Structure 1
Amino acid sequence: MIRSFVTVLSGTLSSRLLGFGRDALIAALLGAGPVADAFLAAFQLVNVIRRLLTEGALNAALVPAWLRIYQSAGPNGAAAFAGRVLGTVSAGLCAASLALAVLMPFTMTVLAPGFSGDETLTMAVNDARLMLPYLAFAGPSTVLLALSSARGRFALAAFAPLLFNVALIAVTMVLLLQQPDPARAAVLLAATIGAAGLVQLMMLAQRGDRSRVASPVRISMDAAMRGFFARALPGMVASAGPQLLAVGAAIIASATPSAVSWLYFANRLIELPLGLVGVAMGTVLVPELTRALHAGNDAALSEVQSRGLELTMGLALPATLGLMILNAPIVGLLFEHGAFGADDAAATAQVLTWLAAALPAQVLTKALQPAFFAREDTTTPLRATLIGCGVAIALAFLLGQIFSASGIAAGLALGAWANAIVLLRRGAASFGFAISSATRRRLPRIALAAIVMAAALWVVAAGTVRVTVGSHAGTALLLAGLIGGAIILYAALLVALGVVDWRQSLRAIRQRSARDLPAGDLHV
């Protein structure tokens, strides 16, 4: 499991770092005015639907179902099932994309009511329509990546999303050199997003050997497919809880100038640790837990759940505290360029502090959901997500009237914790979480190490950050030193407290897990 986790972690880290570069360039190109608000509102819509499919969300339903059919009907039965899923998902998303294009004025009015009666709404509609082709191409790509994860091949699923960010970065850099009108630049970026899905699908279609794991490809809505989608759709919505919260925030923030942009860029910083931990857990934990459940191996089940919880909280806690302490210099370094000014950076940093408070809850949710998904229970996570979203929207609306964008972010944080608490209570009541005694001892030590690290970071940062204000080069060097020192201190504390044994960790990374399924790439 550790080796698979590190593989997905590496791919996700690469994608997220490229995403930061992408967003820094977009901020410099579009700023934080009406053009940027329109583009980011459209991008938020497409991004949520994309993540309903990608980043481990489809694994929640497809991986357990495919593994169950593989064990009961063999490779041919599993291939036929995968072929029907591939054909049906592809056709459904093509039809949905066309329908959404027609209904886009109404959709954007609902998602950004503050744009109504303004030119910003027209720009958002046009941008969103240009982005929609990505969704049609993302359908078959996602099925292929989920099948790769089901067979224990995680590298392809981890690194395939890099193409999306590479394409956007390349186009944005060219536009920055040409310095076109911001409205025209937004249109070109939106068209690039639409084309990026085709590039990714073409890459996946070229990979493979003679084995066929999704054949024949056809559209079907028989009883088996209806049952699959009845389980898949709730799981996909539940997996996209953080993105649904972001959409809700954009709806409320659309009435405040530039607030959509502040929330978007702050949320992008949260998505780095959330993606590193959440996506890796969603991609790796579901197959591992499903195998343990099918084998009736209680010891393996406890081990997988325990390791997942330790890894998620061990990475999320220091990230949360670090983002709260270094919010201003991080935002200033990444986004305070070109049209994105100092006032925008300060507002974004304030929003980031509140969004960071939601990170442990969101990561905990990502660690708990696979226990339900592996049992093919997607309804319970959906209910928890809907409860969390309801709490978040209500509080964000109320607090947003008082504290503007920061109040909206605080409401989102409280909603994320409501989601995690509901999921934890219902899981404990339904089947209990098999957490080892060793993990119960290590979790408080992980929290202690994170708190000590954060205290040291706060003391050092308080006396040094002011020196570099206004200098991006100085800020970059200071942040590199602070973050690097904090990581070293945190690692040393984990070793000193007996949480980590480096020799065992290295052996776990090098070890290849035994697989019951044949290796090999996918080919349709």
Structure 2
Amino acid sequence: MIRSVLTVSSGTLASRLLGFARDALTAALLGAGPVADAFLMAFQLINVIRRMLGEGALNAALVPAWMRVRDSEGLAAASAFAGAVLGTVSTTLIALAVIAGVAMPLLMTVLAPGFAGSESLQLAVTDARLMLPYLAFAGPVTVLMGLLNAQHRFAITAFSPLLFNVALILVITVLLLLHQDSHSAAIVMAATVGATGLLQLLVLAIPSRRDNLASPLRLSFDSGMRDFARKAVPGMIANSGPQLLIVAGAIIASVSPSAVAWLYFANRLIELPLGMVGVAIGTVLVPEMSRALNKGDGPALVHAESRGIELAAALALPATLGLIVLSEPIVRVLFEHGAFTAADTQATALALGCLGLGLPAHVLIKALSPAFFARGNTMTPLLAALKGIAVTIVLALVFGRLFGVGGIAVAVAAGAWSNAASLVRSVAATFGFSVDAEARRRLPRIVLAASLMGGLLWLAVRLLPAMPGAHGLLQAAMLVVLIAASIAIYGLLLLVFRVIGGSDIQAALMRSRVGDLRA
């Protein structure tokens, strides 16, 4: 399982790094004014749907259902079930895209009430409509990714999303070289988003068609499909909790100029560790736990749950502390270019530090949710996510008025912890904590190692001379050195505290199946 997690994490890391490059170019091109607010509000709408469908979300319902059909009725029946899911999901999303396009003015007014009566509203409607064709491709892409993941073919599904960012980076680079005005540039970028899904679909369709994973392709609303939908829809919404919390915060932030952009760029930095850890755990744990449950293998189930929680803690805690301590230099190096000003850096860094408080909760949610998904229970995570959204909106209304974008970011973090706390209570009440002795030994040591690393990083930042006017390359080099040193210190502390060892890493990699990396 470790090897599978590393494969998915590597692809997600590459996608996130390209996403940073895309967002840095977007900030330089659009800045943080009305045009950026409109574009990013529309982009968040599409991005939430993209995340809701992809990045492991559909695995919550598709993978267990596909495995049950395969094990009970054979591979041909599983392929027919997948073909029905593929045809039905694709048709449904095309219809929803058409309806959303017609109703977009009303929808955008609800999502961004602060845009009412301003230029930003019409800009956001136009941008969102141009992005909607992406939904027509997102359906089949998502189903094919889930089927390939179920067969341990994680590499192609992990790296195919890179095409989304590569296409946008190329387009934005051309727009910057042509010195295109922000209004026209936003329209071109929105149209590019609408077309990028086709690239990913073409890449995934080749191996899927070769292996006949979904055939025959058909539209179905029979009892089996309705049962699948009842489990899939709540699971997809629950798995998109982090993105929905940000949208909830953006609804409140839309009343303040540039606040939507500040919140968006700050959240993009949160999504790097969340994507690497959360998506990888969600993508790999669901198949692992489903197999263990289907076979009645209790020890394998406990092992999967324990390793998932360990990985979540070991990667989320140092990332949280690092983002909080280095919030301002990270934002300055990545985004303070072109139309993105020093004042934008200050506001975005404040939002980043506050959002970072919720990162461990987000990752904990990703580690706990598969325990429900693998058992076919998607309603419990959904209710927990909806509660978190409600908490975010209520607190954002209060904190946003008192503290601005920082208050809204705190509200988002509080919503994440509310979601996580609900899941913890449900896990304890439903089937108890399945954590083995090794995890109980390692977890406190992981917390201690992360805390020491964070304290040393804080001291290093305070002792280093401030260089606000230094060249961007020098600032970037210093930031890289600090991050690399922090990673090295943290790894050393894990070794000293005997959380990990060289022999453990080698054994984990050797035990993993070579098939995990099949493309």
Task: Tell me, yes or no, whether TM beats 0.5.
Answer: yes
After superposition, residues 207-222 of structure 1 pair within 5 angstroms as 207-208=207-208, 210-222=210-222
For 1:318, the aligned partner's letter is P
Output one character per residue of 1:374-405: Cα deviation in whole Å (capped at 9) or x when no partner.
00100000011111111111111110010010
How far is the alpha carbon of 1:250 from its aligned partner?
0.9
Q: Is the 8 A contact 1:57 1:235 kept in 2?
A: yes
C-alpha distance in 2, partners of 1:450/1:202? 42
The equivalent residue for 1:342 is: 342
The equivalent residue for 2:408 is: 408
Is it true that 1:492 corresponds to 2:492 in the alignment? yes
Q: Is the 8 A contact 2:148 2:208 kept in 1?
A: no
SS in 2 for 1:375: coil
The equivalent residue for 2:261 is: 261
Is it true that 1:24 corresponds to 2:24 in the alignment? yes
For 2:120, the aligned partner's letter is T
Output one character per residue of 1:411-468: Cα deviation in whole Å (capped at 9) or x when no partner.
1111110100110111111011210011011101000000101111111111215135
Identity %: 58
Q: Is the 8 A contact 1:4 1:284 kept in 2?
A: yes
C-alpha distance in 2, partners of 1:520/1:451? 38
The equivalent residue for 1:303 is: 303
The equivalent residue for 1:352 is: 352
The equivalent residue for 2:318 is: 318
Output one character per residue of 1:473-505: Cα deviation in whole Å (capped at 9) or x when no partner.
111111111111100000000000010012221
Q: Is the 8 A contact 1:465 1:478 kept in 2?
A: no
The equivalent residue for 2:272 is: 272
For 2:213, the aligned partner's letter is V
Q: Is the 8 A contact 1:469 1:475 kept in 2?
A: no
C-alpha distance in 2, partners of 1:500/1:425? 30
Distance 1:514 1:482, change over 3 A: closer
For 1:28, the aligned partner's letter is A
The equivalent residue for 2:119 is: 119
Q: Which runs of 5+ in 1 are unaligned?
A: none
After superposition, residues 463-502 of structure 1 pair within 5 angstroms as 463-464=463-464, 466-467=466-467, 469-502=469-502
C-alpha distance in 1, partners of 2:293/2:208? 30
For 1:441, the aligned partner's letter is R
Output one character per residue of 1:22-75: Cα deviation in whole Å (capped at 9) or x when no partner.
000000000000000000000000000111100000000000000111100010
C-alpha distance in 2, partners of 1:262/1:465? 27
How far is the alpha carbon of 1:512 from its aligned partner?
3.0
The equivalent residue for 1:107 is: 107
- More moved, 199-208 vs 346-355: 199-208
After superposition, residues 61-100 of structure 1 pair within 5 angstroms as 61-100=61-100
Kindly report the root-mean-square deviation, in angstroms, between the aligned alpha carbons of the 2 structures: 1.3
C-alpha distance in 2, partners of 1:209/1:366? 31
For 1:42, the aligned partner's letter is A
After superposition, residues 317-396 of structure 1 pair within 5 angstroms as 317-396=317-396
SS in 2 for 1:221: coil
After superposition, residues 133-172 of structure 1 pair within 5 angstroms as 133-172=133-172
C-alpha distance in 2, partners of 1:104/1:172? 25
Output one character per residue of 1:4-39: Cα deviation in whole Å (capped at 9) or x when no partner.
000001000000000000000000000000000000
Q: Is the 8 A contact 1:278 1:366 kept in 2?
A: yes
SS in 2 for 1:213: coil
The equivalent residue for 1:446 is: 446
C-alpha distance in 2, partners of 1:390/1:258? 24
C-alpha distance in 1, partners of 2:477/2:469? 12
C-alpha distance in 1, partners of 2:35/2:94? 28
C-alpha distance in 2, partners of 1:227/1:208? 24
Task: Report the TM-score, using the length of structure 2 for normalisation.
Answer: 0.98
C-alpha distance in 2, partners of 1:485/1:378? 41
How far is the alpha carbon of 1:207 from its aligned partner?
3.0
The equivalent residue for 1:39 is: 39
Distance 1:465 1:49, change over 3 A: farther
C-alpha distance in 2, partners of 1:447/1:255? 39
For 2:89, the aligned partner's letter is V
Q: Is the 8 A contact 1:277 1:316 kept in 2?
A: yes
C-alpha distance in 1, partners of 2:345/2:7? 34
Output one character per residue of 1:85-116: Cα deviation in whole Å (capped at 9) or x when no partner.
00000000000000000000000000000001
For 2:93, the aligned partner's letter is L
